[in-house]
Amino acid sequence: MDRLTVRIWRGDAAGGAFAAYEVAARENQTVLDVVSEIQREQEPALAYRFACRVGMCGSCAMEVNGRARWTCRTHVRRVARPGEALTLRPLPHLPVIRDLATDMAPFFDKWARAMGSFQPKDAPDGAVPEDFAVVPPGSKARREADAGIECIGCGVCHASCDVVAWNPDYLGPAALNRAWTLVNDVRDGAQAARLAAVSGDAGCHSCHSTQSCTERCPKGLDPSSAIAGLKRRLFWDALLGRRG
């Protein structure tokens, strides 16, 4: 049977180097299958992360041959030609814990800074509102929110965005995409504070519309357009003096 060469970055925050492994090249195998096989049969100490294996949890992202991807839904034959090696690194733009496992805390801290959590209008203490809010599925705001809501928090977009590397404060595509879904949530009561949080150099105004995030998002979301929405809203608010 053909062999597949896999180069895996091994190390921690202090540094590291690539180690090479070989596994059987099968017709149907995902990158995550390969990593799991190596961990189980050759390198029990190999650190990596996964949970659902079906593209729902967002925990398995790595850099595969130069590009950030979710590994549980990435077939080896789609990223490496027959005979070509796989090169795996931890997800870029986040601190490495060990080997292929990165520390996602800074990524989710940015969601918090972008006010990426729902702030109910009529129940400020988090209590369940009296009545159900009616949000027509066809309304423009609802469609904007729906377009970005399926984010699994995998960090692939964040890893693919140069501005994140150039400006460590930059909130990045996932957090800003999340903020845009909430800006379009008519039940949310924290709009002014959220728009202030996503404005400026750390926020949407540092995005240069390279669309790397949109290009690479495994869920087919479009953070770049969500960020454009934030810019548009803030532009007209500033021009028409709509907020403080």
Partner 1 sequence: MPDRRHPTYLAFLAHRLSGLALALFLPLHFWALGQALQGEAALEGFLRWTDHGLFKLAEWGLVVLLALHLAGGLRVMALEFLGWRARQKDMAALGAGFALAVGLLFLLNVG
Partner 2 sequence: MRGQLHLWVAQRLTAAFLAVAVAVHLVTIIIAVRGGLSAADILARTRGSEAWLLFYAGFALAAGLHAAIGLRAIAAEWLGWRGRGLDLLWLGLGLATALFGIRAAWGLYHA
192 near ligand FES (CB under 6 A): no
**Dist CA 155 CA 40 (whole Å):** 26
Kindly report the backbone phi and psi dihedral angles of residue 66, in degrees, each rounded to the nearest multiple of 5, phi listed first. 85, 0
Contacts with partner 1, 88-127, as mask; x by CB under 8 A = ----x-----------------------------------
211 near partner 1 (CB under 8 A): yes
Phi-psi region of 212 (alpha: psi -120 to 50; beta: other; left: phi over 0): alpha
Strands (E), 2-94: 3-12, 15-24, 61-64, 67-70, 86-89
CB of 68 to ligand SF4, least distance (A): 8
Q: Are 52 and 35 in contact (CB under 8 A)?
A: no
Residue whose CB is less far from ligand FES, 36 or 191: 36
Residue whose CB is less far from partner 1, 23 or 164: 164
| Residues in 13-72 that interact with ligand FES by CB under 6 A | 50-53, 55-60, 70, 72
| Residues in 122-161 that interact with ligand SF4 by CB under 6 A | 151-157, 160-161
Q: Cα dist. 72→32, 34, 50, 62, 81 in Å? A: 5, 10, 8, 10, 18
CB of 216 to partner 2, least distance (A): 20
Chain residues that interact with ligand FES, rule: CB under 6 A: 50-53, 55-60, 70, 72
